[in-house]
Structure 1
Amino acid sequence: MLTFTFLGTSSGVPTRHRNVSGLAVQSAAGAGWLLVDVGEGTQQRLLQTRLSLHDLEAICITHVHGDHCYGLPGLLASAGMAGRKRPLTLIAPRPVWDWLAATRACTDLHLPYEVAHVDVAAAPSPVWTASGLRVDAHALRHRVPSYAYRVETVAQRIQLDVNALHAAGLPPGPMWKALQSGEDVSCDGRVLHSAAFTTRTTQRACAVIGGDNAEPALLREACEGAQLLVHEATYTQSILDKVGPGPMHSAAGQVATFAQSAGLPNLVLTHFSARYQAAAGLAELEAEARAQYTTGALWLANDLDVFELDAAGVLSRRTLTQRVAATPFHP
């Protein structure tokens, strides 16, 4: 029901294999999609996917730091040069909008479409609804105002009772489709009511996507009923203790401890410091998280990983080349 394409998983600076922050979110409702953060180089990563800037509905920026927004003007310009005319919504703290306005003025950037700003600090909930998605914002703790976005999709599934239709003497055809659409139909002098031949079920999927954050527990309310948390794990605890409170980031163990206490069935870590780019460093982050998070599925995201969350809360991962990635950890 929800698909997540990671366009950048590095913290602060890009590395040889990881870009800085960017995450595309799609629902099964249509081609429209949502982009959370636009670090420098995001549009190059998008060229390696099937996502189109024409179908981009909204951009959510978690905070004003450059590794989360420096790619925004270029991406908007490229969309305009590709012929985009549809309006676009930018959900972001006010400083992001002010910076974008200054950049547009100083670089003579004229867009052939409207960009509407939603000030995430002042907007009521939900901050955005479209393309089968509802988005709510939740404040975090960082050096500048930072936010998490809770993304939820709900769909109604209508299933025909085939046995009952055959028993009623109604052969497959247009009337079946009408009944499934909620319409009553007339057949041989009888009125067949849709409610008598269909079963309606509600399916939902919900994920919380965090920005930079020194206090994962601030997301407890946001994570109620969620099936997935995507959160930064910039450091291990030992490195966080060395760098001190100044950067205001989370350690992998902190996030995992919170996810365990919140009963989250899936946890995806991202936003890794460049010091962990080698396999040994990533293994250290993973080991610290696994020690605290023992009841759900844990993943460390890579650039261009695609995660799919179904209505049952099951998260699966594949790459853009359709290769099946490693099996997640389960207790």
Structure 2
Amino acid sequence: MRRVTVFVNGTSKNGKVVAVYGTLTDMLSVATNKLGIRACNLYNGKGGLIDDIALIRDDDVLYVSEGDPFFDPQNDVRARDDRPGAHTDWLTLNIGGRLFTTTRSTLVSKEPESMLAHMFQEKGVLEEARFFGIEQLAEQLEVAIKNNQTPEDHSPISRKEFVRFLLATPTKSELRCQGLNFSGADLSRLDLRYINFKMANLSRCNLTHANLCSSNLERADLSGANLDGANLQGVKMLCSNAEGASLKGCNFEDPSGLKANLEGANLKGVDMEGSQMTGINLRVATLKNAKLKNCNLRGATLAGTDLENCDLSGCDLQEANLRGSNVKGAIFEEMLTALHMSQSVR
């Protein structure tokens, strides 16, 4: 029976004597158990790779690696580390085809936030540290990675940035802005037709005289926004939040017959004075304390709408559907046409 002495690659301390039997795979398995590493390759004292167990002779001194190239124990700095179990303090990292060999102390204390922090982000490095049982090191590596990563930018998009997007988009292409943050941005007088603003944050935006024809503002946040004089023909604002917004003199009336849809929208306290809203769909919307003076609501759907304390003075409500709406405290002065019972009773 042949016996050999195995060392961790690059070291000449804490070797183990093992018996040679079976196949090369069996030999690597024994070395794994004896040295506590993932044995992948065997080298002789001159750095020759052993690929057949028949090449091993009795009393040979072999070096076991985890896939890294041979390190001469006579020249490698690791051979001069005499601490018990010192080999476990070393890591050889294969990152992008390049091998990095370093120690725990170097990783943690010297460059954890610069070059090495970039190395740690490569796949498998933390898993390798945990495999060696160096949990404390793994935790410190994770902190270094987190500190080195660029924080997520949630800052609002500026007018300059958005205009650049608009100019780079073909006129026949639909620009998707779903869920983006435009809070407080100045988007006044821009051509925003057919843009998808679904669930976008447009709170406190300046959208005065902007062209939002057929744009999608479903569930968008328009609270406190200024849309005075905006073109809202055929706009979709289902369940959007426009509480406290200003919509004076807006045009919702589409000559082509495509009606604006504001069903279920929150329009508490909005100022829509003088807006053109023929045929608009405001079913089950909330218009509590809103100002709709002198609005054109001819043929509008206001069924189930909350119009409590709403000022509808001077409005045109001819053929408007007010069935089931809440008109408590609403002001109906100087109406252009008479309001019939059939319009408000189920």
TM-score by length of 1: 0.23
**Structure of higher RCO (CA pairs closer than 8 Å, 6+ residues apart):** 1
Q: Relative to total residues, which structure has the larger strand share, 1 or 2?
A: 1
Q: Larger Rg: 1 or 2?
A: 2
TM-score by length of 2: 0.22
